[in-house]
Amino acid sequence: MQNISVEEVKSRLAAGEKINLVDVREPDEHAAFNIGGILLPLGKVQGMQLESIEALKEKEVIVYCRSGKRSLQAGLFLEANGFGNVKNLEGGMLAWQENS
């Protein structure tokens, strides 16, 4: 799994690119601040509750969390379950907000 920088994701979003973002934080964290990703908490990823993102198996998926640790775990799990192009947002939402 590769990492992707906040700068690269922001640049791609600013250019109007459609990006498949998956937020593996908890619902309260997502409600407080999010960048438009599909909410799929890490526990659901690990519990194989992947229906909401099944259609993304063959597409690029960028996972993120607060700091990048949970999304790293989620990304590795997704790769092990057939997702072929998973990237982890380096530094997560902390880095995103620092880069605002």
**pTM score, whole prediction:** 0.96
Listed residue (47, 50, 95) closest to 38, CA to CA: 50
Q: What is the CATH number of the domain that holds 16?
A: 3.40.250.10
Active site residue 65: yes
pLDDT string in tens for the chain (100-residue length): 999 999 999 999 999 999 999 999 999 999 999 999 999 999 999 999 999 999 999 999 999 999 999 999 999 999 999 999 999 999 999 999 998 7
Contact 87, 1 (CB under 8 A): yes
Which is catalytic among the residues 4, 65, 72, 93?
Answer: 65
Contact 38, 52 (CB under 8 A): yes
Contact 75, 4 (CB under 8 A): no
Q: How many domains does the chain have?
A: 1
The domain of 51 spans 2-98
Concatenate the DSSP letters of all residues of 51-80 into one string.
Answer: GGGGGGTTSEEEEE-SSSHHHHHHHHHHHH
